[in-house]
Each structure stands twice: as C-alpha cells, then as structure tokens.
C-alpha cells in the first residue's frame, strides 16, 4: 500500500466522492476535503466501511475562503509531511448569469481557490507527484467573447490571470453559464502557467487540466450521457497515467485538446 496521500477537494459528493472511493478501493490513501465538515466525515466513514487497507481521512476546506485555504494547507502539511503525492482540485460551483456578484463568486471557487491551494501545497508534494485541475469542455475559449478569450490566452502569469475582471459584455451575457465558462478557461490557463513554475518543474511534478465529460451528478443533471463513475475514471487517468504533456488540457478520453494556451 502506498504510504502517501492524495488530496481530493469537493470530495464529499459527486465526482469528488467517486474519485475518493475509487482511489481507496485501488489502495491509495486519501485526504477527502469538504466544505461541509460533517458531510466530509460521513463520506469518509462510508468509504472506509467498504473495506481495504487504504486510509480515507476528512479535512474541512472551503475554497471560497482564502483564510480557510491557508489553514487547510497548514494542517495537511503538518499532519502529512513528506506523505503528499497528489492533488485533485475537484471542488467547483456552477450555473449563473453574467453579473459582478456571480463573477466574483465563480472566480474565487473555480479559479483563484484551486490555484492558491496548489501554490501553497506544491512545496510539500513529493517529487514526481501529480496535480489535476478538474475542468470542463465549457472551459474551451471558443465559449468566450473574443475580448475575454484573448485576455485569457494572453495571460502569461498568475497575476495577469487574477487581474481579469468583470465587465459588461453582450456575448458573455448571452452565453450559457458564462461565469463557469470563463473561470474554467482561466483554470486551464493557470495549469499551463504553473507547469513552468520551478517548484513544480524542477521536481517533475505534473499538472494538467482534465475534463471528465458531462456526467450525471447534482451539478451535471440527470440528462448527462456519462455516469459519475465514468467521469471519476477519466480524472484518475490523469493522476495514475501522468500524461506526458504537462500544462495541457485533456478530454474525457485522455486526448490532449490543447496546451492551455
């Protein structure tokens, strides 16, 4: 049994829960991170009841709160020092219109939170670890207005991405789930940028965005063509197989869609 732990955010339900279950079943130790501490504890307990020798521990994490992200990073770094070998950023929010409040919420949960957590935990990850940014086909820049698509593609630092702000945009206002599309595109770009960070690059830590496909979860709805289990398997491909291209975006079949640029 591997001694290391894989951190999974949003691990108490949906894709995150199925990812945690599959990891433990395969013998991988898991830190199940959940905004709702009680729900996380219950989910971890249920996974442990399934048997096996791998561990599943829960830790509270609210990616909408920078202070909470910092506290979580300190906790897991202290408790599991030298035992962190993977991070799956699965927590996300979905479904909004185009307004400043929605953008602010989505920017933090879908982009800034995962990036901050990744940057804080990267120094504690073991060499040749893997970081997975769970994305969506809606994060392709073709879903954005030309001005936002150019701004995302032109960002060459995390600070430049962070500077992207809400503005009135008729194209975005008429797009399906515009804040989700934009913040997932920003997440994809962040993986491309972070892949060149010496903290990751010098220690051969692989980071990619992985699209699980449209799945039947509370977020995806009952009409989605893929099961949550199938989506979880796509996410785990990125973790277990370690795609040769780091900083890229992969579809549910494991094909490189683009390089995050």
Q: Which of 134, 139, 83, 118 is nearest to 205 (CA)?
A: 118
Say yes or no to pLDDT of 2 above 60: no
**CA–CA separation, 227 vs 225, rounded Å?**
7
How much is the pLDDT for 260? 59
pLDDT at residue 51 in the model:
78
Domain that holds residue 198: 5-258
- CB-facing half-sphere around the CA of 177: CA atoms within 13 A: 17
> What is the distance between the alpha carbons of residues 35 and 124, in angstroms, rounded to a whole number?
22
Mean pLDDT of 115-121: 99
How many domains does the chain divide into? Answer: 1
pTM for the whole structure: 0.95
- Can you give the pLDDT at residue 1? 44
**Averaged pLDDT for residues 159-175:** 97
Q: 208 or 2: which carries more pLDDT confidence?
A: 208
Is residue 233 predicted with pLDDT exceeding 90? yes
Kindly report, residue by residue over 188-199, the tens digit of the pLDDT. 999 999 999 999
Average pLDDT, the chain: 94
**What is the rounded average pLDDT of the residues 103-124?**
98
User: Which residue did the predictor score with more confidence, 242 or 182?
Assistant: 182
Q: 216 by DSSP, 3-state: which?
A: coil
pLDDT in tens, 3-18: 799 999 999 999 999 9
- Looking up residue 161, the CATH number of its domain turns out to be 3.40.50.720
Convert the pLDDT of each residue in 22-41 to its tens digit: 999 999 999 999 999 999 99
Instruction: Give the pLDDT mean for 54-63.
Output: 97
């Amino acid at each position: 049994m591997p001694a290391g732990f894989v951190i999974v955010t949003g691990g108490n339900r949906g894709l995150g829960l199925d990812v945690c279950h599959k990891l433990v079943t395969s013998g991988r130790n898991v830190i199940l991170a959940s905004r709702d501490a009680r729900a996380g504890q219950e989910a971890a307990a249920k996974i442990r009841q399934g048997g096996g020798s791998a561990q599943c521990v829960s830790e509270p994490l609210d990616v909408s709160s920078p202070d909470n992200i910092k506290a979580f990073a300190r906790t897991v770094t202290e408790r599991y020092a030298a035992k962190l070998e993977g991070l799956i950023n699965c927590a996300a929010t979905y479904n909004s219109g185009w307004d400043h409040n929605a953008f602010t919420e989505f920017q933090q949960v879908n982009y800034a939170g995962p990036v901050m957590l990744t940057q804080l935990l990267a120094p504690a990850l073991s060499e040749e670890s893997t970081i997975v940014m769970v994305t969506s086909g809606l994060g392709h820049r073709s879903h954005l207005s030309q001005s936002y698509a150019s701004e995302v593609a032109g960002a060459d630092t995390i600070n430049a991405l962070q500077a992207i702000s809400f503005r009135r945009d008729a194209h975005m206002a008429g797009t399906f789930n515009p804040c989700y599309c934009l913040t997932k595109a920003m997440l994809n770009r962040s993986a491309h940028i972070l892949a060149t960070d010496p903290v990751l690059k010098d220690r051969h830590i692989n980071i990619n965005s992985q699209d699980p496909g449209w799945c039947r979860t509370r977020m995806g709805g009952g009409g989605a063509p893929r099961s949550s289990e199938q989506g979880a398997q796509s996410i785990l491909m990125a973790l277990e197989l370690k795609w040769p291209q780091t900083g890229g975006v992969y579809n549910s079949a494991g094909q490189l869609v683009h390089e995050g640029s």
